[in-house]
Amino acid sequence: MSDKFRNYVDSEVKKFAQYLRGEKRSENTVKEYVHFVRDMLLHIGKRTEEITLGDLNRYKMYLSTRRHYSKNSLYLAVKAIRAYFKYRDLDTASKLTAPKRPRQMPKYLTEEEAKRLIEASRENPRDYAIISLLAYSGLRVSELCNLRFEDVDFDERIIYVRSGKGDKDRIVVVSSRVIEALQDYLLTRDDDMVYLFSSRKSERISRSQVFRIVKRYAKKAGIKKEVTPHVLRHTLATTMLRRGVDIRFIQQFLGHSSVATTQIYTHVDDATLKSVYDRVLQEY
């Protein structure tokens, strides 16, 4: 493959990344989409306008049979390719079909495990504030990283999430315990405090740092499950549902654009399902 073509691919994905950022896509989405489009162009070896639907279907088959991509990965690859051709104002990928993703039940912690995780971080003011906020707010990790000091109303116990997923603002109510944890942490800061959470190397904490923090304290708490910030989001939703919170309130709290997304939590709690059934329908 010539250097000229590689330069062409580099230029294409760079402009595509700029377009995605202009569309307010998350950095994680930008990274994933650019990866798939770069790989597709290099594998097919043609300029974008020369690529056919047959080329794309053969590439999809290659990912499935040679690289053994899962249905989830194939789904993401097709979404990325469709977005790229749409950006280029070409309909080549409009009929490229994505496999149906297997419906996976959200992973979540029990209430006892969540309590152990929070307690395990208590000795570190920043980490305790981060884990408490994730556990009690349902924030996405990117939303937490982007929080600024002014986004928190400490008196009203409200956090303003600016341009969350889908470029939608929302408010999140937190407990007084979380507010106290945030205040205790902020007292340890000696920087300009632009962002709510910082690290020693940056004024804004990164996604990867938050992931490492959660994993470290999950291990310290003796939790055998894989624990991520998103697991804490699922844990909050599941706990709220178990305690009788209306699903539409949970939808707004989590910032889901459709209640259909939130409804996956209705399939999680088997114990609650059995309890309701036994209470109302033992027999006719």
* pTM, rounded to two decimals: 0.62
- The answer to whether 178 and 168 are in contact (CB under 8 A) is no
**What homologous superfamily does CATH list for 3-87?**
Tyrosine recombinase, N-terminal domain (1.10.150.130)
Amino acid at 203: E
- What is the per-residue pLDDT for 166? 53
- What is the per-residue pLDDT for 246? 80
- The residues annotated with a catalytic role in the active site are 140, 165, 230, 233, 256, 265
Which of 248, 260, 264 is CA-nearest to residue 104? 264
Per-residue pLDDT of the chain (284 residues; tens, 9 = 90+): 788 999 999 999 999 999 999 988 888 889 999 999 999 999 999 999 999 999 999 999 999 999 998 888 899 999 999 999 999 999 999 999 988 766 666 788 999 999 999 999 999 999 999 999 999 998 999 999 999 999 999 999 999 998 655 556 788 889 999 999 999 999 999 888 899 999 887 889 999 999 999 999 999 999 999 999 999 988 888 888 888 888 777 787 777 766 666 666 665 555 565 666 677 665 66
Kindly list the domain boundaries of the chain, sorted by start residue: 3-87, 111-272
Report the side by side order of strands in the sheet with 158-161. Answer: 152-153, 158-161, 170-173
Angle at 124 between CA 133 and CA 206, to 5 degrees: 60
- CA gap 190, 267 in Å, rounded: 46
- What is the per-residue pLDDT for 30? 92
Contact partners, residue 166, CB within 8 Å, separation at least 6: 255, 257
- What is the per-residue pLDDT for 164? 54
- CA gap 133, 157 in Å, rounded: 12
Residue with tokens 């990866």: 35
Task: Work out the burial of residue 233: count CB atoms within 10 Å of its CB; fewer than 13 is exposed, 13-18 middle, 19 or more buried.
Answer: buried
- What is the per-residue pLDDT for 252? 78
Domain 111-272 classification at class level: mainly alpha
- What is the per-residue pLDDT for 187? 94
